[in-house]
Chain A
């Protein structure tokens, strides 16, 4: 296929057409490691602030608590890379939580989980289809899905929390157990991140997802069915949100329609703190992971320091802005 017949035509190479000089890579460096720097600073501050912070128990708690957010953040990252947004993750998590608790009563665990993930993926497929093929704005479509999925969760659960009970005992065990020294939900989150990392950086799918976010038309004109890729990221996001719902249920032992209320905002915040651009094409898995940890640490130190809940929200907002300003510091400074 490749035409490599070299040495034809022999055009005189023009010296003037040397590649344009590379811009100082400081900006790129910061984009890549800025999140890491913020993470380290926070880690240092947190350890100084409270002796309780760097205890194994506390760290494990943070990981366990944010496993759900982390898993959803992976899906959100993929969606954001295509220049989209998925506001429905929190609601799909709730739907996942409720359906888990219901299905686990009558089905073997593996079948119940497969169905739950399928339901989440199906919700994502609906949003994805509307965004990718009918070209509706992702914000509106997933806002609608957010409302509808929450509604379905409420209908199915009758608005009542559903106990996992005896049939779901193994799931409850999963939520509270440890594996390889870390809480099992956190281990699951790590696994999701590792797979996402490999797929994003080494697979055709991952590369095209990023490319679509940078220049959809160029990708389309390279002979690639952009629509399927766009739809896929919403399916992934939906499926991962459902898994997050399972994780939350396994931890608490109940499936509740109020799971994940407002979670979409935390998830988006984590991805953005991780340096992903809402304009698509830019963002990475490791930085998203750090974004999740940063969010977790901030909440944790404030709890340890006894900051009242309402105040926490204000600080959190401010910290998000600071993080994003640091992410863009190079651009802001590079004006001249």
Chain B
């Protein structure tokens, strides 16, 4: 059978560095072909070649068995290849229907007809979203549905999903996988890129492993168990992923939150953190976890409740006050909130605590370089030069720069919001060991995560939020996915989250 799209011997270099060399990849009608690999393995580059954004230096693209020279993304779309990017490409202020038909809007728009067609496409995906709704008012999950409908409206025969579930809650992710299965059954060829291996095993017909710009192998999921797949990706077994938490002494209580209520939907959240403890905060995306973290950090206002920090009342009105007291936040959106991408690694690392490297407000170059050199070695940040912008680093190393910032500041309470999102397996392990180390140094650590394995592998106990309330707490003996899910969606919450 001829594949819908085949990439043959693709090579691509940037500035003399091989991003891809000799990669073969194809996708047939009615199959889900998953692609896995660490960040920087070349997945995105390969997909950009398939989507016509990049022209390969070597090899060629075949569509329906014929060599095709894609002149650009528009050409690829016209030939039936649609890519649904990690960062969605919707126009936020336009309506659902306008977005779906963007680029092919007729000069005279017949709204009734357009809306009807949009509704039809969305219903085909099993959803009910008003075509007139403004896209920015939709949940992330629904925005993704709009993206898929857009691809369908262009009669896409191959749809590439790039990390589609990274921003979705568990329930939404499951629904998305169902949509994808539906599309496959209709004969669409699916390329599915994800870091979440459980999803890959749930959905993929074939799996290709990319490493260092080469296709290591293409396998079927039943032939290769998950730990073998991970070894293919990184050359290291799964059990080493979380490392082992060193024996730490859990000390006195550092932070106590009582009946925290925020102006938004968060109500009556109470918990405490002790020195040496790694506490997880789980629950669905949108359950209020990030909101709680930001409030404790002084980034958002608090409506009611009491926070006690080191035995004293604590009500930071700005991040500045929180940082001064020794509270740190590693935000969820690394590029948007964690680092200044265009600024040097060195400058990012010292930003939150300039006192040790300045005199009278002026930087001492030597002192600063010394401090940063220490941090780089200590945290094993892999970089070219500390004067390079943070944007030159991989996701994992960018995250380490954020961690370096707080290591340098010497915070006592560290809140990490999705610390390993978009970070490859190798760097994840290193970030986990840094989290363990913070605890060992007597800090109290709060980890917000949507990955169950991460919460269970990392934390001494896991708090679970749902709909803005704390639903319960899991001790290590209760660490099962089922218990976590039950707590987070108890009380018919799922209906409302997905509606």
Contact = CB atoms under 8 A, between A and B. Distances in A.
Interface string B87-130: 00000000000000000000000000000000000000000000
Interface stretch (A178-186, A217-225, A287-295): A217-225
Interface string B28-43: 0000000000111100
Given A14-B426, A24-B15, A336-B54, A218 B356 contact: no
Contact of B437 (A9, A19, A205, A336): A9
Interface string B3-43: 00000000000110100000000000000000000111100
A314 interface: no
B15 A23 contact: yes
Given A9-B437, A17-B38, A19-B394, A281 B342 contact: yes
A207 B212 contact: no
A17 B409 contact: no
Interface in B347-369: 347, 351-354, 356, 358, 361-363
B329 A11 contact: no
Contacts of A336: 54-55
Contacts, number: 175
A2 B371 contact: yes
Contact of A22 (B324, B384, B426): B384
Given A9-B243, A221-B299, A221-B331, A210 B433 contact: no
A11 B55 CA distance: 38
Contacts of A134: none
Interface in B296-335: 297, 299, 318-320, 322-324, 329, 331
Contacts of A207: 347, 351, 363
B55 to A, nearest CB: 7
B337 A217 contact: yes
B17 A223 contact: no
A211 B319 contact: no
Contacts of A214: 340-343
Contacts of A6: 377-378
Contacts of B69: none
Contacts of A282: 342
Interface string A218-250: 111111110000000000000000000000000
Interface residues of B, number: 77
A3 B434 CA distance: 12
B494 interface: no
B297 to A, nearest CB: 7
A16 to B, nearest CB: 5
A1 interface: yes
A17 B433 contact: no
Contacts of B55: 336
B397 interface: yes
Contacts of B240: 12
Interface string A304-336: 000000000000000000000000000000001
A15 B41 CA distance: 11
Contact of B362 (A12, A24, A203): A203
Given A202-B362, A205-B361, A14 B429 contact: yes
A223 B393 contact: no
A215 interface: yes
Contact of B429 (A11, A22, A24, A215): A11
B17 A21 contact: yes
Contact of A17 (B336, B340, B354, B426): B426
Interface in B377-435: 377-378, 380, 382-384, 388, 392-394, 396-397, 405, 407-410, 424-427, 429-430, 432-434
Contacts of B427: 14, 17
B342 A22 contact: no
Contacts of B336: 215, 217-218
B366 to A, nearest CB: 13
Given A211-B340, A214-B340, A8 B424 contact: no
User: Which has the most chain B C-beta neighbours within 10 Å: A9, A202, A336?
Assistant: A9
5 contacts: A14-B430, A16-B234, A221-B297, A221-B319, A222-B352
Given A13-B380, A220-B318, A221-B299, 18 more contacts: A1-B410, A2-B356, A6-B378, A8-B437, A19-B393, A22-B388, A204-B361, A207-B347, A207-B351, A211-B351, A214-B343, A215-B336, A218-B337, A218-B338, A219-B351, A221-B338, A222-B319, A223-B409
Interface of B: 14-15, 17, 38-41, 54-55, 211-212, 234, 236, 240, 243, 246, 297, 299, 318-320, 322-324, 329, 331, 336-343, 347, 351-354, 356, 358, 361-363, 371, 374-375, 377-378, 380, 382-384, 388, 392-394, 396-397, 405, 407-410, 424-427, 429-430, 432-434, 436-437, 440-441
